Amino acid sequence: MSDQSPNSEPVSHQASVMGVAYTWFLSIAVLAVMALVVGVVALFNPNGGGGDDAAVGGEVTVEVTLAEMDIATSLDEVPMGSTVTFVVTNEGSMTHDFKIDGEVGTDMLLPGASETFEYGPVEAPIEAWCTVPGHKEAGMATTIGIEGGAAVAAVASGDGSGEAAEGDYAEIDPTGEPSEGWVARDPALPPVPEGDVHEVTFNMVDKVIEVAPGVTQELWTFEEVVPGPTLHGKLGDTFIVTIVNQTDMDHSIDFHASKTAPNVDMRDIGPGEELVYEFTADYAGVFMYHCGTAPTLHHIGNGMFGAVVIDPPDLAPVDHEFIFVQSEYYFGPEGGFGDLTKMQNDDWDAVVFNGYFNQYVYSPINVGVGERVRVWVMDDGPSENSSFHIVGTIFDTTFKEGTYMLRPDERRGGSQALDLQPAQGGFVEFDLSDEGYYTAVTHKFSNVGKGAAGVFVAGNPPPR
């Protein structure tokens, strides 16, 4: 009889099985730890490892082509850590530049000019654009990525999710007053100069101008004023206008009162250049003029517009004749130029007569009781319409887009508002029957609170 118990063999077999299982457990644990280590190393060294990883370092050349309003690059991505030689050529018809983050890059390039510069080592996607005001917003911007995609860029830049903070926009102080020394724009229509030929010079100048209480903007101007000077003539007169570009960007001028080839008289001129624009006034009315350089919306929206008045034949005499040019402001930062994105979205901050918020509320216009008044109105936009109305009177004469809509006659017709779209104009005539304060507005009342208001004072009423 054996000394072994009936359970001896099973116990030995069980131990063997347990040993094998333990060995497999250790093996799997070791492999798991190794995998974890490899993963951690890969996480903190994304450029190391196999042949499928992105290239790192080295030198690369990127050709950049500038045009209106576009930037084209020969490469969409460059290696992390590389040094990039940018060869930039302006193939457009306007002056452009190319700057990384708006700071590092070329000088302003005239049409056809080229410039080369180096940038590196590259540590994040490259953001570059044309710094001519408005060109970036109009499409002249580009991004050159990092080879290897978003993961590489994210490691290089932290989390890859940050964006530049949007600048603060200027805001009107609704309880404020114009600054000390502010003088309202004279609303009187300039008289027609003597003779049949009128020679004028418009210097195009950048100028920081107060446009509302507490708000200044860097405006692009004709003769340092917004709107530009009003020209006044009669049918058959010839205007010889010399424009002189004293800014660092391209500009032009488009007189709606003229019939001429746009590619000749309305062409862009560069910094320091001049152009002579001659036209004959063959049609009566009030006409817009403006800079037509792309993006035209930005150039008009930032101040480059004005009016030309050509009297219709046998214009009736009046006691007072005024010019109101309605326009909008789209504020950028305080002291900066207007925001093109706001302009593209019709998101105006102010609607004004003759360039200043509530201008003739702060400085009312005085007329006599019963005196005959003519107000020319030009909607220079660039985008908002106008419904010119004076509270407390009726227009007995209206003239719109070259023709009379209403004249005094036995029918006793009256008009309450002159409706205008951008680049339309006309005039109204009226008298103020009693002493008092008569408010002029656009009857689109959402814009009255944004500055499209003024006051006519008839006679000598008591203070309000």
- 225 plus 364 within the same structural domain: yes
Q: Which residue has the tokens 């492999």?
A: 31
Mean pLDDT value of segment 98-116: 94
pLDDT in tens, 30-43: 444 444 444 444 44
Within a domain: 151: yes
Quick one: pLDDT at residue 241? Answer: 99
- 83 plus 206 within the same structural domain: no
- 91 plus 203 within the same structural domain: no
Tell me, what DSSP letter sits at residue 296? H
Within a domain: 23: no
Within a domain: 104: yes
- 286 plus 147 within the same structural domain: no
pLDDT in tens, 137-171: 888 999 999 997 644 444 444 443 333 345 589 99
Within a domain: 174: no
Quick one: pLDDT at residue 102? Answer: 92
Alpha helices, DSSP H, located in 188-307:
262-265, 296-301
- 67 plus 202 within the same structural domain: no
Within a domain: 70: yes
Mean pLDDT value of segment 57-65: 93
Quick one: pLDDT at residue 69? Answer: 85
Mean pLDDT value of segment 189-204: 98
- 230 plus 353 within the same structural domain: yes
Quick one: pLDDT at residue 12? Answer: 42
Q: Give the three-state DSSP class for 20.
A: helix
Within a domain: 171: no
- 209 plus 353 within the same structural domain: yes
pLDDT in tens, 405-448: 999 998 999 999 999 999 999 999 999 999 999 999 999 999 99
Within a domain: 14: no
- 287 plus 225 within the same structural domain: yes
Within a domain: 437: yes
pLDDT in tens, 217-229: 999 999 999 999 9
Q: How far apart are CA 210 and CA 172, in angstroms?
A: 11
Mean pLDDT value of segment 84-91: 96
- 131 plus 216 within the same structural domain: no
Quick one: pLDDT at residue 149? Answer: 63
Query: Mean pLDDT over all residues of the chain?
Result: 88
- 286 plus 343 within the same structural domain: yes
For residue 150, the enclosing domain spans 59-157
Q: With CA atoms as reference, report the closest residue to 376 among 311, 448, 447, 281.
A: 311
CATH number of the domain enclosing 210: 2.60.40.420
Sheet holding 231-234, edge to edge: 231-234, 305-311, 285-290, 254-255
- 206 plus 152 within the same structural domain: no
Tell whether the model's pLDDT for residue 47 goes beyond 90.
Answer: no
**pTM for this one?**
0.77
Tell whether the model's pLDDT for residue 277 goes beyond 80.
Answer: yes
- 120 plus 208 within the same structural domain: no
> How many domains are contained in the chain?
2
